Amino acid sequence: MEVKVVVMAALLGIVSVCNAQLDGNECTKASAQSCGECIQVGEMCGWCSTEAFLKQGESKSARCDEIKALESKGCSKVENPRGNITIDENKPVTNRKKDGSEKLKPDQITQIQPQKLTLKLRAGEQQKFSLRFKRAEDYPIDMYYLMDLSYSMKDDLENVKNLGTDLMHEMQTITSDFRIGFGSFVEKTVMPYISTTPAKLLNPCTSDQNCTSPFSYKNVLSLTEDGKRFNTLVSQQQISGNLDSPEGGFDAIMQVAVCGEQIGWRNVTRLLVFSTDAGFHFAGDGKLGGIVLPNDGKCHLTNNMYTMSHYYDYPSIAHLVQKLSDNNIQTIFAVTEEFQPVYKELKNLIPKSAVGTLSANSSNVIKLIIDAYNSLSSEVILENSKLPEGVSISYVSHCKNGVSETGDNGRKCSNISIGDEVLFDVAITAKGCPSPGKSETIKIKPLGFNEEVVVVLNFICECECHKSGIPNSPDCHFGNGTLECGACRCNEGRIGRVCECSKDDVRTEDLDANCRMDNGTDICSNNGDCVCGTCECKKRDNPEERYEGKYCECDNFNCDRSNNKLCGGHGRCVCRKCVCDANYTGSACDCPLDKQPCMASNGQECNGRGQCECGVCKCTDTKFQGPTCEICPTCPGVCAEHKNCVQCLAFKSGELKDVCESTCKNFKPILVKKKEDLPQPNSQPFLTHCKERDANDCWFFFTYPVNVLRETDFTRKCFHIHVLCLTSIPECPAGPDIIPIVAGLVAGIVLIGLALLLIWKLLMIIHDRREFAKFEKEKMNAKWDTGENPIYKSAVTTVVNPKYEGK
């Protein structure tokens, strides 16, 4: 099973590789006709501007390929423009202390670096840069308090009247530059949101309550540093009323966001506190009052009053998100506990917003604002303006404690304290050439902050050689094109490698005749198209494979193969024939001329028993086989082969003892006394240890190193043999000692007999005891019947005299 799995995995791997090769690459698939078109395909594509680069039959698009592929084809001049980044403005982030003597204006404080960059973008090439963000200490804050003045907020208004001075005092611990403003809202002044009867328009509350006329939104106090003035104006406000529960707060938020001049927003941290105890109307609800025009997102304040509430519908949530983001406003929703779930869902849709629980009478509003501000200011979220078509951007954040995030989380860092510095890596990539000849600008900014980074994008749409092109060049068929980057870019209506044809004359019989080889019927050998009387060969899916020749009759992939490799992997396929590398020959370059693989361990070619053909031994002696003809399965072992010579030379015995001198004359024995004195395997090359037995079952040991000195007949050998002889007597096994064997055998028989008797006796005892126990048990269980025999009749008969009266 394991073998099957491995084989299957290998096959899958081969299939994957083959598929990858067949897929080709995006450069060749694009069929680019100019350098500009080529470099827009991808960052790996280059254009060969060497004029003599194209081979016969290749089209202009063959100049566009991957850089390495062009270089391997011999291109000496590859056009491959690359993008770059230029930093235009790079003011360092501000290191400012709250208690410092230096007083900086808001526009003098820098929290993000750099501020402006220019990028040159090549299609598919990613350009990366880093943004550094640092929260400045004592950064100015503008806060606008927007309050619901419907009747249910009556008790809340009392607690807000002193909010100005109290909040000013609390905010001193955060910033020395704090301004506050106040606005109020109720509802659209049309039915069914309010009652339009004259009396209710004057006093929408009950007759015993003194309420002001209903209104949509009113800017009571623009942003000011005077907390006492805030208290005074808020104290003068009166509660109003409406009919339905949801309020028109979205109208008010929109006007606060877009009426920056009337509100008095500065380019500093902008906070909007939205206080209510009810829900909200949004886009589409205006239809109940006959209002169908969508909110236009513009400022409509006249004398600090929103005058178009009866004309425009409520804004949508998405519209509000856009305007709040455009104006860098962070929103704090101070709502009662009952509506917490609603506004928490709204918070998830509005970036840089927070929700706080407002007590029933707004007594905790200051703490709520401080907590919400700390939460908002501890998070940095980057956003960018709309990207041009074909441009993409990605972020990687490097936050506190070495934490890095990618994807959507790469845009933000949390838990940032004042003075902390974080880093964002930004990568911008373009696809193609989105804006030829002009620049595009995008802006990246941290949400809720007024600062931004301006990124100017310039797109590389043409090669450098394009600038030196020669319009109406004579080399382009009498001026029918521009000679640029080594090729002709044809004028409108002209085609061909040198613009030699008009599009109207592409398919004519006269031109097609020039594309038939040997007056045959196949146009361009069925491997190309006839364009202007010249064959332009087809492209293969695999960029390494190509058709060539005047008639596309040649290719570099239909040569003989060996081991599933073109030309055996040892040559090049040129016009369907293999051109072999050095030391290789054959139709598939599968025959190496090197004879080293045929050398046997003794240094002889094929062990002297064969011939070396294409690096493989062909054994001429049928007894021998193996890659070097050294294996002889039917040959006796060397030890057995020379056993008789060793016996006759060392011990004067064996089959050859009578002809020893003539038969074993090439052996020279050297006797040693002990086995340990024999040469060891590592002491000499080709050393063999032998252990043989003679006719008397005696063992003898010998070793010999073989120095092969081949002669012309390849049969003679000279041996230098070391023979072991222990006191000139072979090592014979000692005979058996009969007495101990017989004694042991007798003792064994006796012991076995005794053991059998004991076992038999033991079995009989066990059997007797079992029978006796059985008898005793039956005796105890026996019951004898002591009654009379039912068929017994006594021999005595008693007769009673009936007349006897006992006298």
Show Cβ contacts of residue 283 under 8 Å, excluding neighbours closer than 6 positions.
294, 295, 313, 314, 315, 316, 317, 319
Q: What is the mean pLDDT of residues 170-179?
A: 85
pLDDT at 230: 87
Between 194-198, 368-372, 502-506, 521-525, the lowest mean confidence (pLDDT) is in 502-506
Domain with residue 583: its CATH number is: 2.10.25.10
pLDDT at 711: 34
pLDDT at 21: 40
The whole-angstrom separation of Cα 64 and Cα 38 is 6
Beta carbons of 193 and 187 less than 8 angstroms apart: yes
3-state SS, residue 774: helix
Q: Tens digits of per-residue pLDDT, 552-609?
A: 888 888 899 888 888 988 888 988 899 998 888 888 898 888 888 888 877 788 888 8
Assess if residue 614 is contained within a domain: no
Domain that residue 160 falls in: 141-378
pLDDT at 704: 64
Where do the H-state alpha helices sit in 236-364? 249-258, 260-263, 317-326, 340-349
Q: Which band of pLDDT confidence, cut at 50, 70 and 90, is reported for residue 361?
A: low
The whole-angstrom separation of Cα 13 and Cα 662 is 66
Q: Which band of pLDDT confidence, cut at 50, 70 and 90, is reported for residue 668?
A: confident
Last residue of a domain, one of 360, 378, 396: 378
pLDDT at 507: 56
Examine the domain organization and report whether 348 and 369 are in the same domain: yes
Examine the domain organization and report whether 132 and 154 are in the same domain: no
Examine the domain organization and report whether 159 and 263 are in the same domain: yes
Q: How many domains does the structure of the chain reveal? A: 4
Domain with residue 649: its CATH number is: 4.10.1240
Examine the domain organization and report whether 293 and 174 are in the same domain: yes
Q: Which band of pLDDT confidence, cut at 50, 70 and 90, is reported for residue 14?
A: very low
Domain with residue 321: its CATH number is: 3.40.50.410
pLDDT at 255: 95
* pLDDT tops 90 at residue 724: no
Q: Which of 88-97, 246-255, 533-542, 634-643 has the highest mean pLDDT?
A: 246-255
pLDDT at 510: 61
pLDDT at 47: 93
Q: With CA atoms as reference, report the closest residue to 286 among 296, 278, 294.
A: 294
Of residues 376 and 676, more confidence is placed in 376
Residues facing 671 on adjacent strands: 723
Examine the domain organization and report whether 370 and 428 are in the same domain: no
Q: What is the mean pLDDT of residues 656-664?
A: 81
Assess if residue 13 is contained within a domain: no
Examine the domain organization and report whether 371 and 392 are in the same domain: no
pLDDT at 24: 53
pLDDT at 202: 80
A 10 A CB-CB count for 439 gives 12
The whole-angstrom separation of Cα 392 and Cα 665 is 92
E strands, 55-95, are 64-66, 78-79, 84-89
Given 3-state DSSP classes, what are the helix, strand and coil percentages for the chain, each rounded to the nearest 5? 30, 25, 45
Examine the domain organization and report whether 239 and 349 are in the same domain: yes
Q: Tens digits of per-residue pLDDT, 106-121?
A: 778 888 999 999 999 9
Q: What is the mean pLDDT of residues 686-698?
A: 74
Assess if residue 800 is contained within a domain: no
pLDDT at 22: 40
Examine the domain organization and report whether 649 and 699 are in the same domain: yes
Q: Tens digits of per-residue pLDDT, 412-425?
A: 998 888 888 899 99
Q: What is the mean pLDDT of residues 700-712?
A: 54
* pLDDT tops 50 at residue 15: no
Examine the domain organization and report whether 267 and 250 are in the same domain: yes
* pLDDT tops 80 at residue 268: yes
* pLDDT tops 90 at residue 97: no
pLDDT at 322: 92
Q: Tens digits of per-residue pLDDT, 533-546?
A: 778 888 887 777 88
pLDDT at 258: 95
* pLDDT tops 80 at residue 457: yes
Assess if residue 407 is contained within a domain: yes
pLDDT at 785: 57
pLDDT at 362: 65
Is there a cis peptide before residue 315, judged by omega within 30 degrees of 0? no
Of residues 66 and 31, more confidence is placed in 66
Q: What is the mean pLDDT of residues 748-763?
A: 93
* pLDDT tops 70 at residue 476: yes
Q: What is the mean pLDDT of residues 740-769?
A: 92
Q: What is the mean pLDDT of residues 455-471?
A: 91
Q: Which band of pLDDT confidence, cut at 50, 70 and 90, is reported for residue 788?
A: low
pLDDT at 729: 54
Q: What is the mean pLDDT of residues 655-679?
A: 76
pLDDT at 219: 94
Q: What percent of the chain has pLDDT over 90?
A: 28
* pLDDT tops 70 at residue 286: yes
pLDDT at 713: 34
Q: What is the mean pLDDT of residues 664-691?
A: 69
Q: How far is CA 621 from CA 32, 202, 607, 630, 707, in A?
A: 64, 127, 10, 11, 22
Show Cβ contacts of residue 802 under 8 Å, excluding neighbours closer than 6 positions.
none
* pLDDT tops 90 at residue 191: no
Examine the domain organization and report whether 586 and 648 are in the same domain: no
Assess if residue 400 is contained within a domain: yes
The whole-angstrom separation of Cα 269 and Cα 177 is 11
Of residues 736 and 321, more confidence is placed in 321
Last residue of a domain, one of 402, 432, 459: 459
Is there a cis peptide before residue 597, judged by omega within 30 degrees of 0? no
pLDDT at 438: 87
pLDDT at 17: 35
The mean pLDDT value of the chain amounts to 82
Q: What is the mean pLDDT of residues 652-672?
A: 78
Assess if residue 207 is contained within a domain: yes
Q: Is the pTM of this model over 0.85?
A: no
Assess if residue 15 is contained within a domain: no
Beta carbons of 414 and 443 less than 8 angstroms apart: no
pLDDT at 723: 45
Examine the domain organization and report whether 402 and 354 are in the same domain: no
Last residue of a domain, one of 439, 459, 479: 459
Between 407-421, 592-606, 629-643, 722-736, the lowest mean confidence (pLDDT) is in 722-736
Q: What percent of the chain has pLDDT over 70?
A: 87
Examine the domain organization and report whether 115 and 153 are in the same domain: no
Q: What is the mean pLDDT of residues 757-777?
A: 91
Assess if residue 693 is contained within a domain: yes
The whole-angstrom separation of Cα 533 and Cα 512 is 6
Between 94-103, 146-155, 304-313, 656-665, the lowest mean confidence (pLDDT) is in 94-103
Q: Which of 309-318, 416-425, 433-442, 718-727 has the highest mean pLDDT?
A: 309-318
